[in-house]
Amino acid sequence: TQLLEQSPQFLSIQEGENLTVYCNSSSVFSSLQWYRQEPGEGPVLLVTVVTGGEVKKLKRLTFQFGDARKDSSLHITAAQPGDTGLYLCAGEYNQGGKLIFGQGTELSVKP
């Protein structure tokens, strides 16, 4: 069974602080995605990483895929209240189509 462990589960920080969310597995994934979800809505795709060691940037968000394609991280610089939400990592295993999701990191950024 392929599992993705996310940490931390909850994170409450002040505006302007930096943070990192981790997504780890013992399985190798063909690709990994990060989503952001707001209450009562579906997840919104932020980024897809497919190559081991790949780094992608999206404004203040930096995503990294581990060299062995078993783990990933999301780093947010100078967090803002608008970053508040549930961040989910999801991996596609063996190009099988279905996504395996982590349990999510609930981020709260206080002004």
Partner 1 sequence: DTGVSQNPRHKITKRGQNVTFRCDPISEHNRLYWYRQTLGQGPEFLTYFQNEAQLEKSRLLSDRFSAERPKGSFSTLEIQRTEQGDSAMYLCASSPSGNTDTQYFGPGTRLTVL
Q: Where does this chain bind partner 1 (CB under 8 A)?
A: 4, 6, 30-31, 33, 35, 40-45, 48, 50, 88, 90, 92, 95-104
Nearer to partner 1, 9 or 77 (CB): 9
Q: Which residues are CB-neighbours of 28 under 8 A, at least 6 positions away?
A: 68, 69, 70
Residue 88 C-beta: closest distance to partner 1, Å: 5
Nearer to partner 1, 7 or 77 (CB): 7
Residue 42 C-beta: closest distance to partner 1, Å: 4
Residue 79 C-beta: closest distance to partner 1, Å: 21
- CA-to-CA dists, residue 16 to 50, 52, 80, 89, 102, angstroms: 30, 30, 6, 23, 26
Residue 101 C-beta: closest distance to partner 1, Å: 3
Which residues are registered as beta bridge partners of 47?
A: 34
Nearer to partner 1, 31 or 73 (CB): 31
